[in-house]
Amino acid sequence: NISSFLMQQQHARFLECRYQDARHFLQLHPDDSSAAALDFRRKAKLLLSVAAQTLAVLHVPFWISSGTCLGWFRQCNIISYSKDVDIGIFISDFRPDIVAAFRDAGLSLKHKFGKVEDSLELSFLSDDVKLDIFFFYKDEGVMWNGGTQAKSGRKFKYVFAPFTLCWAELLEIKVRVPCETLDYVMANYGVFWNVPVRSWDWKTSPRNVIENGMWPSKEWAELIQVY
């Protein structure tokens, strides 16, 4: 398949996981090996695998983002208390059949926030684990994704320095990551990204979050859809 070969070549650089640093991190912060943690990791791996296969069929490139990217970078694994799987997609790669494709793969749509022109975000559910898809926009020398608080209509923006994509592997699944991974992780988590934080508020905790106004109440039915 020539088009998929060319798409893979576009992000041909492969980043090895930082295994030595991960070992050091796990000596300081031993992994949770409880049944619940192992069960979550198993479900999250399956969900990431389904997402990768579904988007590959659509020829939509994605990368692991937020806590999933942090887990890969910091401990070469999924963070057991993260409770979801996070991926990013450039809005220029959006396809209207993404929702149908994930439904066909057995996932249910949990919410749809925003619109293609602004702050689009999709969440799917599989076996009680959430897949968050954040769409990224390019704007005046930065890249950003949006967030929406369903109950208030408040909008948020998470701002990153421009980044490129490299290949990597997480739980034996081939994924993309921002090549400038440390900058990307620090944008979200600050200089103490290497310290586990279990209580996280998506509206206030990220270092790169800014308030971005509100959705007009007359558009809520279209722009804030919770299932």
Per-residue pLDDT of the chain (227 residues; tens, 9 = 90+): 666 655 666 667 999 999 999 999 999 999 999 999 999 999 999 999 999 999 999 999 999 999 999 999 999 999 999 989 999 999 999 999 999 999 999 999 999 999 999 999 999 999 999 999 999 999 989 999 999 999 999 999 999 999 999 999 999 999 999 999 999 999 999 999 999 998 888 888 899 999 999 999 999 999 999 99
The domain 2-143+162-183 belongs to what CATH superfamily?
Beta Polymerase, domain 2 (3.30.460.10)
pLDDT at 72: 99
Ordered by start, the domain boundaries in the chain are 2-143+162-183
pLDDT at 12: 73
- End-to-end CA distance of the chain: give it in Å, rounded: 37
pLDDT at 23: 97
Of 183, 117, 99, nearest in space to 155 by CA: 117
- CA-to-CA separations, 190 to 28, 164, 186, 207, in angstroms, rounded: 19, 20, 4, 6
pTM (2 decimals)? 0.93
